[in-house]
Amino acid sequence: MDIFKVKFLKSIKRTPTVESFRFMPEKRIDFLAGQFLRVIFDRDNLENKELNKFLSFSSSPCREYIEVTKRLSDSAFSQRLKSLKKDDEILIKAPLGSCVFNKDFKNIAFLIGGIGITPVISMLEYIQDEDLDTDVILFYSNRSPSDIAFKEEIDRLAKENNRIKVFYLITDSLSKDKDFIFGRIDKDFLKNYLPDFKNRLIYIFGPPKMVEALKETCIELGLTDIKTESFLGY
């Protein structure tokens, strides 16, 4: 991994609380879809955990720019992100992480909660950019429809690629919209909506409790090809 200078291009609002931040690196960053980086605001103290934080790439490795996405809060780190102006320069440390897309697996399923969607976007864009024949099923769970980040982008990818199928789950609010499933991902849900689960590589990204519960569920179903990543403090 190396430290790169990147120049801020723009921010993109994904939900009322989630925002993406796009940067142009000084030189190409070779990373794999699913990896993450460390944003460095405190250059003098690289171990400052308040201002130097880890975020997933939410853009394909094939793009010229890089993008990260965060649920914003009142933290000092969020405020620094929000205060970025065009052409501001910051440092990032990359690439990091081994929970990555593997194109050798032709059938995959994503069990995703909330902001855990960020590395999935990188993978889906990469699949599309490389015109891969990967068969993808994405189950994306949120509390309400307004919490669904990247919905427009996900719908576009699914429309352009009939090998990408998407199911949106809503857990805390009833919706009459037929595009949403009310409920949670559990054993019965997977049996009903993912009958070929034993033939798929399973990625589980989201809040730690959700990731742990779904991992146990998958193991109970006899699955062994499972990759997980917990998203804490987003």
pLDDT in tens, 35-64: 999 999 999 999 999 999 999 999 999 999
| C-alpha–C-alpha distance, residues 157 and 126, integer Å | 11
| pLDDT above 90 as % of the chain | 94
> What integer pLDDT is reported at residue 138 of this predicted model?
98
The whole-chain average pLDDT of the chain stands at 95
Name the architecture of domain 107-230: 3-Layer(aba) Sandwich (3.40)
The predicted pLDDT at position 64 comes to 97
The domain limits of the chain are: 2-96, 107-230
Among residues 111, 133, 72, the alpha carbon closest in space to that of 229 is found at 111
Contact 53, 39 (CB under 8 A): yes
Q: Is 91 exposed, middle or buried (0-12, 13-18, 19+ CB in 10 A)?
A: middle
- CATH T-level assignment (fold) for domain 2-96: Elongation Factor Tu (Ef-tu); domain 3 (2.40.30)
User: Is pLDDT of 233 > 60?
Assistant: no
| Cα 107–chain centre separation | 18
What are the structure tokens assigned to 28, written together? 């190409």
Mean pLDDT (whole number) for 128-157: 97
- The pTM assigned to this predicted structure is 0.95
Residues 154-167 have pLDDT tens digits of 999 999 999 999 99
